Chain A
Amino acid sequence: MNVFAEQSAAPIKSAAVISKNIKPYYEALEGYSTKFREIAGSDTEIFELEDYDKDSDPLSGRIKNGGFSVVLAIGPEASRFISSDKISGMVKIYTMIINTDDIHNQAANSFCGVSLSIPPAEQITSIISRISGAKKIGILFDPKYNELFVKKAETEAARQSVRIIRIQVNTHHDITPALENRLGNIDVLWMIPDQTVISESLVPFIIKKSIGAGVPTVGYNRFFLQNGATMAFVINYKDIGAKAALNALKALREKTCSWESPDYEIINNQKIIDMLKLRIKSINENIDQDVSNEHR
């Protein structure tokens, strides 16, 4: 049933700006447009940022003069683009971004949507509730990028009676000695998005090192599971899109909106669990079945 059809004669026009032509963004877009059509009864017009020049005035003009009531930004580049003053007079919803602070500083007015970042408190809770005996959680990070996050995590860990063990690196070269120094002193290695630490080739190496030391690793997407992580927080991008659509419609209706965390599922890698002889609480599935234990 079209809720908005009763309130407004004209259909609500929605636009979506995508940062890059990658699958997760399109999954988010599909979730958004499906949910938006379901509720508002109108399709979403899609703009791919890569099709336009940088700081593209034609794209700004098209969105500004398109008669859109709401514009959705998918990804950090698209978020930076719609946060500028060039685009105004419509509800702006941001999604699929990790570091919201950069965008928030630029956004002139309301800044809301669905982030990619799972709150550290939730992650710590999940880790200690699942991995038995996880008292010392090691975080491999570069302070240049993640000092703030680690501080939040330390505060939250203290609240939950566990310790965060800082494994700080400033360059790639620091990774090996840092791990060698700290792996013997932690119960679990928690990997967070970090420019210095995370790469397609470093992740398998780090996980291998960690497994070698008998330490389970926790990652934040399926890639970690495929490379031997014990557990991973896997975000459902379609759900993020759907959540962003609801957020947008709420903003249109109530003239107010908020930031929301993404929905995710926690997936275990049973093979690694067996290999490391870990005790995992409430395990109902493994990676092969690809079903979450806990769905928020």
Chain B
Amino acid sequence: MSIGKRAGINFRLLSASVLLIAGVTFTLGFIGVSITQNFMHQKFADRIQFLAKYLALNAEVGVLIGDRAGLKILALNLLGEEDVARVVILDNQNNLLVDLDREVSGPLSNVEMPVVFKKSGDENILFEPASGISNAPDPMKQDSIGKVQITYSTHGIDVLMIKISTQYIVAAAVLTALAFAIFYYISRPIIHEMSDLAGVARRIGQGYSLLRANPGRIPETRDLAVAFNSMLDSLDRSKEALNSANRKMMHQRILAEAGKFSLIIAHEFKNPLGIIKSSMDILKKDFDIEKDNILVSYVEDEIRRLNRLIEDFLMFARPVDPKFRDTDLNFMVKDICERFVLIYPEPTVSFNLNISDQPFNAEIDQDLLTRCITNILKNACEASGDKGQIFVDTAVMDGSWILRISDEGEGIPETELIKIFEPFFTTKSKGTGLGLSFASQVAESHGGSIEASNHENGGAVFEIRIPGYNSI
């Protein structure tokens, strides 16, 4: 695997930034140094050109009259200038008038300048012969009467350019390092937070679905983390909904199967039971069996229990088909509780009612909902045993009517909380496991819900929620 594929974003960003900054800095520097070098060489050449021009100007008389001594003084003066290595003065016949040099290191360049005969001014032109009049050669008409050559060294410039280049390279390196440091300082928290995010994602992938990303301090990564967390929450919700849908489907399938089975069993049992009951009645009559005969009473009790069981099966198996009517739910609950007090009189359990006097009307099937609430109250009473209180509270929230039934029993184990509404799930020795399942069916058939939880002080809490319309 190549390093490019293995390199992280931090390394890539830092490399890119360093390469870019270094590239730009060095390119600009190279251009700058080149421009400076050209400029300095040009300026230097201009200076030497100026010196050559100056020498040529001053050498005019010396060249004209062949004054080598005077020209030598001029050349010596120029040779005193820094970087000048050699001064040569020639006449127009290329005869050497002056040739002076000195030891100068470095590469050498040459500048040549003609020694020009100065043109006469207006007043002197008058006294010159007319052009073309004289046939004699006229040296005065020649523009160039000789030339000066200056050889100079660019060693000084080269040394200076090396110094400038070195300083520039150092400056560029420092700038690059500084850019690296700044970029590292800026990118590190971003990368760190992204790494954290990646770590969280990895751990979530490993199964820690409840983990959430730390939002961090940088707005962008914070937004990313929040979005990531929202996505996870959304996924959780979707997963929960999917699970719930699956559970419901399973539940429906079980219910359907159980219903079919229950119907078959109920019908298959109901006739024999009817025959057994009738036969028992005939036997009691024919053999004049006493009413308090314990064995007969056992048989009759068991027949009744079996009959009740079959009735429960049939009740559960038949599809719920509510007949809705406008009903005051608060009034209905009060009525159910008052009836229940008669069944479970104190000191067995005491009912603590907190039911609103304000009516809350909704379209419900009173029989189904009464049976649903009765099942829960019965469970609460059985869970309380011979002591404790049953709390019945109603409330209205978000347009829904809420009935909360709490007991002071031992509560429901956490592992069983999600199973208690499943059909045939029971913790009782003689329970069918269909009461709460039926209650759940009824709540759902009214567009509502039923939930079970544990009170923090102990005891189970059942909450029925029925959507209604505005209370009067």
Q: Does B128 contact A (CB under 8 A)?
A: yes
Given contacts A76-B130, A195-B140, A199-B140, contact A172 B65 (CB under 8 A): yes
A96 touches B126 (CB 8 A): yes
B130 touches A173 (CB 8 A): no
> Which residues of chain A are within 8 angstroms of B127 by Cβ–Cβ distance?
98, 116, 193, 198, 220-221
Interface size grouping (class) on chain A: 35 or more
Chain A 56-82 near chain B by CB (<8 Å), digits 1 or 0 = 000000000000000000011101100
B139 touches A172 (CB 8 A): yes
A198 touches B124 (CB 8 A): yes
> Which residues of chain A are within 8 angstroms of B61 by Cβ–Cβ distance?
201-202, 205
Highest count of chain A CB atoms <10 Å: which of B118, B120, B122, B125: B122
Number of A-B contacts (CB under 8 A): 90
| Nearest CB in chain A to that of B145: its residue | A172
Q: Does B117 contact A (CB under 8 A)?
A: yes
Shortest CB distance A235–B (Å): 9
B133 touches A24 (CB 8 A): no
**Complex CA–CA separation, A170 to B54 (angstroms):** 28
**Complex CA–CA separation, A120 to B76 (angstroms):** 44
A24 touches B123 (CB 8 A): yes
> Which residues of chain B are within 8 angstroms of A76 by Cβ–Cβ distance?
129-130, 133
Q: Does A19 contact B (CB under 8 A)?
A: yes
Given contacts A80-B133, A102-B133, contact A205 B123 (CB under 8 A): no
> Which residues of chain B are within 8 angstroms of A97 by Cβ–Cβ distance?
130
Q: Does A6 contact B (CB under 8 A)?
A: no
Q: Does B74 contact A (CB under 8 A)?
A: no
**Complex CA–CA separation, A221 to B119 (angstroms):** 16
Given contacts A23-B122, A24-B122, A221-B123, contact A75 B130 (CB under 8 A): yes
Shortest CB distance B121–A (Å): 6
Given contacts A176-B67, A201-B61, contact A24 B126 (CB under 8 A): yes
**Complex CA–CA separation, A3 to B216 (angstroms):** 116
A201 touches B64 (CB 8 A): yes
Q: Does B138 contact A (CB under 8 A)?
A: yes
Q: Report A106-130 residues with CB < 8 Å from chain B CB.
A: 116
> Which residues of chain B are within 8 angstroms of A173 by Cβ–Cβ distance?
64-66
Chain A 17-53 near chain B by CB (<8 Å), digits 1 or 0 = 0011011110000000000000000000000000000
A221 touches B124 (CB 8 A): yes
Please tell me which one of the listed residues A98, A116, A144, A223 contacts residue B136 in the complex, with CB atoms under 8 A apart: A144
**Complex CA–CA separation, A284 to B61 (angstroms):** 35
Q: Does A222 contact B (CB under 8 A)?
A: yes
Q: Does B457 contact A (CB under 8 A)?
A: no
Q: A76-B130, A195-B138 provided; 5 other pairs, C-beta below 8 A?
A: A19-B130, A175-B64, A198-B124, A201-B60, A202-B65
Q: Could you list which residues of chain B lie within 8 angstroms of chain A, going by C-beta atoms?
A: 60-61, 64-67, 117-134, 136, 138-140
A-B CB contact pairs (8 Å), 10 listed: A24-B122, A24-B126, A76-B130, A80-B132, A145-B129, A172-B139, A195-B140, A199-B140, A202-B65, A221-B126
